[in-house]
Amino acid sequence: MILTLSCPDQPGIVARVSALLFERGANILDAQQFDDEETGRFFMRVVFDPGQADVAAWRDAFAPLGEQYGMTWQMRARGERRRVMILASQQDHCLADLIWRWRQGELPMDITAVVSNHPASTYPHTDLHGIAFHHLPITADTKPQQEARLWKLIQETGTELVVLARYMQILSDDLSGKLEGRCINIHHSFLPGFKGARPYHQAHARGVKVIGATAHYVTADLDEGPIIEQDVERISHRDHPRDLVRKGRDIERRVLARAVRWHLEDRVLLNGRKTVVFTD
Amino acid sequence: MILTLSCPDQPGIVARVSALLFERGANILDAQQFDDEETGRFFMRVVFDPGQADVAAWRDAFAPLGEQYGMTWQMRARGERRRVMILASQQDHCLADLIWRWRQGELPMDITAVVSNHPASTYPHTDLHGIAFHHLPITADTKPQQEARLWKLIQETGTELVVLARYMQILSDDLSGKLEGRCINIHHSFLPGFKGARPYHQAHARGVKVIGATAHYVTADLDEGPIIEQDVERISHRDHPRDLVRKGRDIERRVLARAVRWHLEDRVLLNGRKTVVFTD
Amino acid sequence: MILTLSCPDQPGIVARVSALLFERGANILDAQQFDDEETGRFFMRVVFDPGQADVAAWRDAFAPLGEQYGMTWQMRARGERRRVMILASQQDHCLADLIWRWRQGELPMDITAVVSNHPASTYPHTDLHGIAFHHLPITADTKPQQEARLWKLIQETGTELVVLARYMQILSDDLSGKLEGRCINIHHSFLPGFKGARPYHQAHARGVKVIGATAHYVTADLDEGPIIEQDVERISHRDHPRDLVRKGRDIERRVLARAVRWHLEDRVLLNGRKTVVFTD
Amino acid sequence: MILTLSCPDQPGIVARVSALLFERGANILDAQQFDDEETGRFFMRVVFDPGQADVAAWRDAFAPLGEQYGMTWQMRARGERRRVMILASQQDHCLADLIWRWRQGELPMDITAVVSNHPASTYPHTDLHGIAFHHLPITADTKPQQEARLWKLIQETGTELVVLARYMQILSDDLSGKLEGRCINIHHSFLPGFKGARPYHQAHARGVKVIGATAHYVTADLDEGPIIEQDVERISHRDHPRDLVRKGRDIERRVLARAVRWHLEDRVLLNGRKTVVFTD
């Protein structure tokens, strides 16, 4: 079982939580805490062997404590797989990589659908076998309708996490709001540097010596959502923008994959505009 | 207050520890646990606001629990500075860096002495002002006597940690044993590659593309002690051994400084031939 | 056109080479030299716009100079794609990644065949469409016969480079010798650390804090061939060997891909037991 | 001898340059070229054994070629040490590190002076012995006068390179202009992210997962000068701004030291708003 929680800090939280787990026969396997001295907020992730009780029983048992401390909390079975929808566009390196890692068993999720504004034939080399594919084209005029169809699909499929795998479309404020804390985007720059379009070309023009990518939760405030993970690679004056794009694909793939895996393993907790990431 | 402990894993440890802290008015500020599924051993580090009680009172309060669970444990005041002796030889980049960081306030320690097999005049540019300096020359013949003097000095000065800052002398099995878990060495290679002498020349001869350095606890088994920290840097065919030595100085400095700081902050716990490092 | 050469160093080589190119209407686009002061050997890579002449004409023009200076040299058209055979075994992450990059246009090569000691059904999710696949099972008893079939296949297909993409079979001295300088292996450790089998388990047992992978040319001397590229990733005490294997897959993929791309672009020159790599 | 040059690209430059060197008895030890296809500009750095002729003779010999091709060029003896002035302020980690590396022999320069807006007593632990120190206090009102004194000092001491080692004062447009291409600043962020004041606090507030530092040439356009070198380090949610400042000191030290060394070895060529860096 994995328990994550955050609440205003006060003495005794760890004692109360661990006592409750112990009394009900659980054994703590891993636990990490963080006390944000700036905001006075406390964050915790506990992995425990739940004994006989199932997740519903554990939720019932924990609820009063959660209430008492004003916690935002979540209890999930370790083996439970999240339902994930992947949105893609023309370029498929992030899509292909996520599917590959999923087939390898690296990502504990069920893929509810792959959705693209391009047809499935755009991805002839990615094995979409056994995965629902939806082609939802979009234009400036049809954006509201397309998003409505998308939202309907998210609801119908019970999608818990939406991954923008280089989707290249900006979600409306409305949809961003509905997906708060459960929509991950990969931005192909080392934010906050090079916001906006064509970041590799911006990076080339500025002559930086290191490029990067950023995985973040989507918010209405474009490129300003809470950052989950970033990574970088060295470049040199010899690198043409097309080389940056190539090197960037590698960074984007691994940064997005890490962020998605951490989210699926309940390692990422929201802390206002920031995240607490209990890495492995 | 900082509490670190390790013991055979069993259910209820976190609950018991956190309850004890809470009942006595402590507030947990940071806590990390690790359960080694291979060895069945449990490791924990807790930082807490101790309220009114001093460290002696806390030790008394904790002792019965430590006994009951068969814990190896330690309780120290956060502000307490460890007593550290630095051993150096001809090259002084690690010595100079440690002293510089200490003067900057990065390393919470008191320097009991700098000991070298070379005279103080070897280090004209390092500010040794206010630091006891001992010149203990050594030859193959005088090694036992020199080590006896060194050990006497360690005892007389109440030294808790010995840092081999490129000391270049191999401690005897006897002295290594006496300093188990409290003597840190910096090895100028990415262990286990290039054990033994002149690792940068070995690396150059082998044509590796990355070099590194390793900070580890000293054991009688040369270059085999528990590793605390490692880091690396890229090199190329253009790098002459003298370039590797130069680049290596930078890696050695930062790897050793990190290992020493983590040790001083009680972040490093021994786990057989390995370490558990609760990094910040 | 790409010209690479190595020879004993002597004054005037650059002048003679660049004069010859200029006189025949070429324009140098990129050039890198390296003078190994240890061995007295000179290395050069020149990329030039060849004007009207084709590769045969350029080879004829260059041959006398190559002869005069005792050069090992090679002249190839930039657009020419090398013929590459990929050998794989049970695990297919390197195989899948190479094919993916090839389809993306990152690797300028033609794949002559994928050869495995397992049947094609081992790789249901890798798009092998349009690629010749050969199943060459191997046992201790049939190794000579299998290698004979493999060598025949290499010859018949005009294969110029063989990539061992986690092939997990040790080539015989004989075959290693035949493929000298044109067979790249990915070793899943940071050589020379953890040679031999199960390096991630070795790394876990030793408690290192960084793991890596190494791409090298295959020689009869196992794990001792000239290193082309290495890269690393940080790990912690929390990482189980299965986590090292997972993290390792990422390192192996990118290290092997870089080494193959550099080889295909004639950036890697042999320098005895080492390599000169003119990176981009 | 080290020759660096840049000019509009045209066929034959390498041939002409290398022929000239060969005819006069030089032997090329190292050479790197770069052809910027965007700007059509060609860059070259050649290290050669000059034979009998001195630097003046080589300059005379080269001048006609430089003229003919419209080159910006420079010829310097390898052993020649540049005259460098270091400007510092309250924090002295970059100052101390540069002096330490200089005393180690890592930086081939003569220090003409250390200038600070604080008195020498600010740096009790840095060995300033044998180095001229000038205390030039500055206020908003006295800035023009202070800069006038600074400029006079630069001229009188024959200073060729000015290093802003966390000087924390913005040079006027006028002085920036006078020092174009020979004044290096270290900015404590990964530009272009977090321009302006207190970048570590900005980084903390934004919740980035990687921080960095940037060494660049100073221009009138604040934080927009040509970037020479950048490097980064991972951080986590546990890092308080004071931790970022501490980690940042390490990044700043090594980034600035690399940039200064590369400048001193004539490895950095200006390319408009960018740099070409022929790294070792």
Q: What is the pLDDT of residues B45-93, one digit of tens each?
A: 999 999 889 999 999 999 999 999 999 999 999 989 999 999 999 999 9
pLDDT of residue A236: 95
Rounded mean pLDDT, B155-170: 97
Whole-number Å distance between alpha carbons of D181 and A251:
33
Catalytic residue among D9, D30, D221, D223: D223
Whole-number Å distance between alpha carbons of D79 and B147:
44
Confidence of residue A196 (pLDDT cuts 50, 70, 90): confident
Whole-number Å distance between alpha carbons of B231 and B222:
20
Give burial (CB, 10 Å; 0-12/13-18/19+) of B154. buried
Question: In the predicted model, is pLDDT for residue D11 greater than 90?
Answer: no
Confidence of residue C79 (pLDDT cuts 50, 70, 90): confident
Q: Is D231 marked active-site?
A: no
The three-class DSSP label of residue D108 is coil
Mean pLDDT in chain D? 95
Chain position carrying tokens 């607490």 = A276
Question: Domains in chain D, please, with CATH?
Answer: 2-76 (3.30.70.260), 82-277 (3.40.50.170)
Question: In the predicted model, is pLDDT for residue A280 greater than 80?
Answer: no
Burial track A69-108 (b if 16+ CB lie within 10 A, e otherwise): bebebbbbeeeeebbbbbbbbebbbbbbbbbbbbbeebbe
pLDDT of residue A146: 97
Whole-number Å distance between alpha carbons of C190 and C226:
13
Q: Are C207 and B37 in contact (CB < 8 Å)?
A: no
Question: In the predicted model, is pLDDT for residue D203 greater than 80?
Answer: yes
For residue D224, the 8-state DSSP code is: -
Interface test with C, best of D1, D16, D22 (most C CBs within 10 A): D22
pLDDT digit string (tens) for B176-199? Answer: 999 999 999 999 998 898 988 899
Mean pLDDT in chain A? 95
Residues of A with CB under 8 A from a CB of D: 34, 36-37, 190-194, 205-210, 212, 226-232, 236-238, 240, 271, 273-277, 279
Share of chain D above pLDDT 90, in %: 90
Confidence of residue C223 (pLDDT cuts 50, 70, 90): confident
Give me the DSSP letters along A86-129. Answer: EEE-S--HHHHHHHHHHHHT-S-EEEEEEEESS-GGG-TTS--T
Residue B14: left (phi > 0), alpha (psi -120 to 50), or beta?
A: alpha
pLDDT digit string (tens) for D136-192? Answer: 999 999 999 999 999 999 999 999 999 999 999 999 999 999 999 999 999 999 989
Confidence of residue A79 (pLDDT cuts 50, 70, 90): confident
Question: In the predicted model, is pLDDT for residue B280 greater than 80?
Answer: no
pLDDT of residue C183: 98
Rounded mean pLDDT, A221-244: 94
Rounded mean pLDDT, B252-267: 97
Whole-number Å distance between alpha carbons of D167 and A190:
27
Question: In the predicted model, is pLDDT for residue A221 greater than 90?
Answer: no
Rg (CA), chain B: 20
pLDDT of residue B222: 82
Q: Are B208 and C192 in contact (CB < 8 Å)?
A: yes
Q: For C108, how many CA atoms within 13 A lie in the half-sphere containing its CB?
A: 11
Residue D48: left (phi > 0), alpha (psi -120 to 50), or beta?
A: beta
Confidence of residue A151 (pLDDT cuts 50, 70, 90): very high
Strand segments, DSSP code E, in chain B are 2-8, 27-36, 41-49, 72-76, 82-88, 109-116, 133-135, 161-164, 183-187, 210-217, 227-234, 268-271, 274-277
| All partners of chain A with 3 or more CB pairs under 8 angstroms | B, C, D
Task: Determine how β-strand B82-88 pairs with β-strand B109-116.
Answer: parallel
Cα diameter, chain D: 63
Whole-number Å distance between alpha carbons of C149 and C142:
11
Question: In the predicted model, is pLDDT for residue D220 greater than 80?
Answer: yes
Complex ipTM: 0.94
Rounded mean pLDDT, C203-229: 94
Residues of D with CB under 8 A from a CB of A: 34, 36-37, 190-194, 205-210, 212, 226-232, 236-238, 240, 271, 273-277, 279
Catalytic residue among A92, A223, A239, A266: A223
Paired tokens of C141: 């008893």
pLDDT of residue A29: 87
Q: Are C22 and D12 in contact (CB < 8 Å)?
A: yes
Residues of B with CB under 8 A from a CB of A: 9-16, 18-19, 21-23, 25-35
Chain position carrying tokens 């120190």 = D133
Q: Which residues of A touch B26 (CB under 8 A)?
A: 11
Paired tokens of D280: 């070792």
Confidence of residue C221 (pLDDT cuts 50, 70, 90): confident
Question: In the predicted model, is pLDDT for residue D280 greater than 80?
Answer: no
Read off φ and ψ for residue C28, nearest 5 degrees: -75, 125
Closest CA to C275 of C182, C168, C213, C174: C182
Task: Give the Cα-Cα-Cα angle D61, D66, D72 (nearest 5 degrees).
Answer: 130
pLDDT digit string (tens) for B96-106? Answer: 999 999 999 99
Interface test with D, best of B29, B123, B127 (most D CBs within 10 A): B127
Rounded mean pLDDT, D201-206: 94
Whole-number Å distance between alpha carbons of A7 and A17:
13
pLDDT digit string (tens) for C1-41? Answer: 999 999 999 888 999 999 999 999 998 888 899 999 889 99
Confidence of residue A222 (pLDDT cuts 50, 70, 90): confident
pTM: 0.96
pLDDT of residue B65: 97
Rounded mean pLDDT, C106-123: 97
Q: Are A209 and D226 in contact (CB < 8 Å)?
A: no
Are D227 and D275 spatial neighbours (Cβ–Cβ below 8 Å)? yes
pLDDT of residue A30: 87
pLDDT of residue D145: 96
pLDDT digit string (tens) for A102-128? Answer: 999 999 999 999 999 999 999 999 999
Question: In the predicted model, is pLDDT for residue C280 greater than 80?
Answer: no
Q: Which residues of B touch C36 (CB under 8 A)?
A: 237
pLDDT of residue A25: 92
Chain position carrying tokens 């910006």 = D72
Residues of C with CB under 8 A from a CB of A: 30, 93, 96, 100, 103-104, 106, 124-127, 129, 236, 238-239, 243, 246, 249-250, 254, 280
The three-class DSSP label of residue A246 is helix
